Structure 1
Amino acid sequence: MPLPATIPLPGGLAMPAVGLGTFKSRGQEAAGAVAAALTAGFRHIDTASIYKNESEVAAGIAASGVPRHEVFVTSKVSPYQMGSEAAIAACEASLAALQCTQSSSGSSGSRAGSSTAAPAPIDLMLVHWPGVAKTPADSPANAAARQQTWRVLESFHRRGLFRAIGVSNFEVRHLEELLSYAEVAPATNQVEIHPRYQQRQLRAYCAEHGIPVVAYSPFGGGVLLDDPAVAAAAAAAGVSPAQALLLWGLHRGAAVLPKSVRSERIAEVAPAELAAAEAALGEAGLARLLAALDALGEEEAPVKYCWDPSGIA
């Protein structure tokens, strides 16, 4: 199967399968990376309130010359903003920073029709973390705040301010709890996924319940770009390690969020470059590459490079 250009979301939305991550990107560097990504063909930009770069993301979109209605923007409510009042303030602040507003028809499924129309709403808003900052991991306050925060996101979604809502870093038990009360089912679960942390059980659960998965840190925080096994598999396939890792993620059913602020590295993993790399591999070459990277998940215990939500009640 050729790699998907988009991932279908509820309400007829299409999320570009390759997006630019902006974690730790700040100031002009962040704006420049966003502009470079859009110029290279990206149409999905991922940010978060805790990244403190939403305004720079908006500036990068504007500088690129790509009409806002052609760009899919994801942001997130941070663990410092959980609960009813804090989440409302957080959502309003993100809308302002990203220069977004309600769609002209007031429908969450609508999209501004031209570059001269009012700015589009935020395409996808996530609960960034299942726990509340500075709250004990085993406290029942975490579950209460998750529900309150989700109700806020549902309200903004109904008003047309968020085209879709979802979660990030939720494990199966968090998703089970959410689905027990959600009036709007989560459109995505954004989690760490790469060949050394494959999350097979979580991916299977999400697939069973119709929750598309988005893979952040597909390079393992950059560590996997220098991993000898990844390098060997990529060299055998005739692609770069970055391209190999993203092709693996896409063919394992996830959208992927590579992160870089260097224009040449951004261009290397642009959607068209990944499609060209896949085509050059051919069916047999792609199968060998995927099998080699699949095997990394069997060699040793899973290796997690980012935050661990497993202890959050």
Structure 2
Amino acid sequence: METVKLNTGSDMPIVGLGTFKLRGQELVVQTVETALKLGYRSIDTAAVYRNEADIAIALKQFCPKYGIERNKLFITSKLAPKDQGYAEAKSAVLKSLEAFGLEYLDLYLVHWPGKQGMLREDERNRQYRKDTWRALEELHLEGQLRAIGVSNYTVRHMKELLEHCQVKPAVLQIEHHPELQQTELISLCREHGIHFQAYSSLGTGKLVSHSAVVETATKYNRTPGQILLRWAVQRGVGIIPKSTNPQHLKDNIHIFDFTLEEGDMGRLDSLDSGMHYCWDPEHVA
């Protein structure tokens, strides 16, 4: 598995297992086992996914079986929007650590730039973000969070964070695919040594039927999903595709044995339209 070196010095797998909407202990455990067997070592979850404890069961059961040491795993979780704030964030991290039965998480992200229950335009969101980040910085310095970062932050949110932070975010995770390329955000992240990681790389599944993607897949004898994932990693973007299908899990990780030609990259690049298939955080104050 190819990795990227974070600004903390840690190595993070470029491909991780996404677990959004992965619910039910049996399915979670089965999916995580399949992923581990296939070579996945990075698992992305969040408090709001409500599957941390089930993922922990799978790791406890199958890591010894497949000889996977803790230091070979990369576990990411995220702060629920309801837990924005200094004390709330600290408490939430401890709950996630307890759910996993771990002494540390490899990466912890602020899931959303706003506080749950507050209007998007409420200026108090700014202070909540600042207080939350201070809590995560302290937990990072104490060693309970090996790296900290953010999710769904816009250029404005990122610039605000960079003005006051003592510890730079290691990762920004946000929606990214050929129709939403986030060029300005990627440039900002590269300028500050922040790894850019995509979710919804397939446009919630809608882009796999796009003619440009299908035709490119035919040319390379690959699946449309593999083309979209390869396009992302070729741009230096990390990915966390989610699937419970064993064949799809295998396909999603086998994208490092071919390269898209410049013309094909350009064709996919030309699809950028600013289309959001998920949430748009632009209007969060």
SS at match of 1:190: strand
**Is the 8 Å Cα contact of residues 16 and 44 (structure 1) preserved in structure 2?**
yes
Name the counterpart of 1:305.
277
Within-5 A mapping of 1:276-287 = 276=257, 278=258, 281=259, 285-287=260-262
Q: Is 2:208 the counterpart of 1:209?
A: no
Identity of counterpart residues, as a percentage?
Answer: 40
Q: Is 2:47 the counterpart of 1:45?
A: no
Q: Is 2:225 the counterpart of 1:262?
A: no
Give the whole-Å Cα distance in 2 for the aligned partners of 1:96 and 1:78: 16
Give the whole-Å Cα distance in 1 for the aligned partners of 2:8 and 2:87: 27
Offset from partner CA, 1:181-238 (integer Å, 9 cap, x none)? 1110100100111111111111111111211100111111111122232111211222
Q: Which of 126, 141, 144 in structure 1 is aligned with 2:127?
A: 144
Name the counterpart of 2:92.
90
Deviation of 1:69 (Å): 2.2
Flag structure 1 segments of 5+ consecutive residues without an equivalent: 102-120
Give the whole-Å Cα distance in 1 for the aligned partners of 2:267 and 2:70: 39
Name the counterpart of 2:108.
125
In the alignment of these two chains, the number of paired residues is 280
**Is the 8 Å Cα contact of residues 179 and 185 (structure 1) preserved in structure 2?**
yes
Question: Letter of the aligned partner of 2:274 in structure 1?
Answer: P
Name the counterpart of 1:80.
82
Question: Letter of the aligned partner of 2:85 in structure 1?
Answer: G
Offset from partner CA, 1:116-143 (integer Å, 9 cap, x none)? xxxxx10000101000111011111101
SS at match of 1:75: strand
SS at match of 2:147: strand
Give the whole-Å Cα distance in 1 for the aligned partners of 2:194 and 2:19: 23
Within-5 A mapping of 1:180-199 = 180-199=163-182
Query: Which consecutive segments of 4 or more residues in structure 1 shift more than 6 A?
Result: none
**Is the 8 Å Cα contact of residues 61 and 68 (structure 1) preserved in structure 2?**
no
SS at match of 1:215: strand
Q: Is 2:13 the counterpart of 1:16?
A: yes
Deviation of 1:311 (Å): 0.3
**Is the 8 Å Cα contact of residues 7 and 194 (structure 2) preserved in structure 1?**
no
**Is the 8 Å Cα contact of residues 17 and 255 (structure 1) preserved in structure 2?**
yes
**Is the 8 Å Cα contact of residues 129 and 169 (structure 1) preserved in structure 2?**
yes
Question: Letter of the aligned partner of 1:274 in structure 2?
Answer: I
Give the whole-Å Cα distance in 1 for the aligned partners of 2:215 and 2:196: 27
Question: Letter of the aligned partner of 1:68 in structure 2?
Answer: R
Deviation of 1:88 (Å): 1.4
Question: Letter of the aligned partner of 2:5 in structure 1?
Answer: P
Give the whole-Å Cα distance in 1 for the aligned partners of 2:210 and 2:255: 20
Of 21-30 and 122-131, the range deviating more from structure 2: 21-30
Deviation of 1:292 (Å): 2.2
**Is the 8 Å Cα contact of residues 122 and 163 (structure 1) preserved in structure 2?**
yes
Deviation of 1:286 (Å): 3.0
Give the whole-Å Cα distance in 1 for the aligned partners of 2:144 and 2:199: 24
For normalisation by structure 1, the TM-score amounts to: 0.86
Give the whole-Å Cα distance in 1 for the aligned partners of 2:267 and 2:52: 37
Offset from partner CA, 1:49-77 (integer Å, 9 cap, x none)? 01101111112222333333211011100
**Is the 8 Å Cα contact of residues 9 and 15 (structure 1) preserved in structure 2?**
yes
Question: Letter of the aligned partner of 1:63 in structure 2?
Answer: Q
Flag structure 2 segments of 5+ consecutive residues without an equivalent: none
Question: Letter of the aligned partner of 2:282 in structure 1?
Answer: S
Give the whole-Å Cα distance in 1 for the aligned partners of 2:80 and 2:230: 29
Cα RMSD (Å): 1.4
SS at match of 2:149: strand
Question: Letter of the aligned partner of 1:187 in structure 2?
Answer: A
Name the counterpart of 2:265.
290
For normalisation by structure 2, the TM-score amounts to: 0.94
Deviation of 1:97 (Å): 0.8
Question: Letter of the aligned partner of 1:182 in structure 2?
Answer: C
Give the whole-Å Cα distance in 2 for the aligned partners of 1:64 and 1:225: 32
Q: Which of 239, 242, 251 in structure 1 is aligned with 2:225?
A: 242
